[in-house]
Structure 1
Amino acid sequence: MSVEVGEKLVGKVTGVKPFGAFVELPNGKSGLVHISEVANKFVEDINDHLKVNDEVEVKVLSVGDDGKISLSIKQAEKPKKQRRAQSPEDFEKKLSNFLKDSEERMSSIKRQADARRGGR
């Protein structure tokens, strides 16, 4: 069984180094997850994220001519659900409510200021 670029697989971490982690794939081959491909945030110490024998889902980024397999954990993660787009009517309603509240607050502040000045 060959490994295809873009394929998602579940593998087992066999080694952790400061620069990345080695992952054994189901076909017996192994690849490297570079430290920059471990998480969507900055990873200072890979040991905070991965341990030997952890099962991880990886995405195959590349397979070199020399057989080296580059993997990514962060790209294998399912995309987060995107926020629902706001309709123009919803926006107009929110803007109208904001302006109404703002005008009420400004008139209240003005009345308080006038009262302090002696009601000019």
Structure 2
Amino acid sequence: MLIGELARRTGVSTRALRHYEENGVLRSFRDANGYRRYPEQAVVRVRNIRHLLEAGMILEDIEPMGDCLDQDLRGQAACHAALEVAERRLAELERRWAALGALRDNLRSRVESLRGEIHRRHEVA
């Protein structure tokens, strides 16, 4: 199928499909006229890519999943590679969340301190 049909069937823009291809998560073949051709399985692959991106992964996470992307990852069956990548991404997100929480707590403390300082100045005046 041509890139336009893949875009229509998956709801993903042709620009995004080319981006996926540039990042190694989607493959196409070229016709003699240079048009991209995708196999039927590309529909499942693109839907999986979208699903994983929406779950918080990035293309660098998805690329190592290889042939797992050709299975429906939204269903019950999961592949080992997908689980490993998801666990690594989750650990990274949890580290970031903890760091953001610490920043939030520091800022909250500073805001409360400044608020108290301003309040005391107004009481004295």
**TM-score normalised by the shorter chain: which range applies?**
0.3 to 0.5
Larger relative strand fraction: 1
Task: Report which of the two structures shows the higher radius of gyration computed on alpha carbons.
Answer: 1
Relative to the length of structure 2, the TM-score reads: 0.34
Higher relative contact order (CA 8 A, sep 6+): 1
Point out the structure with the larger helix share.
Answer: 2
Q: TM-score, normalised by structure 1?
A: 0.35
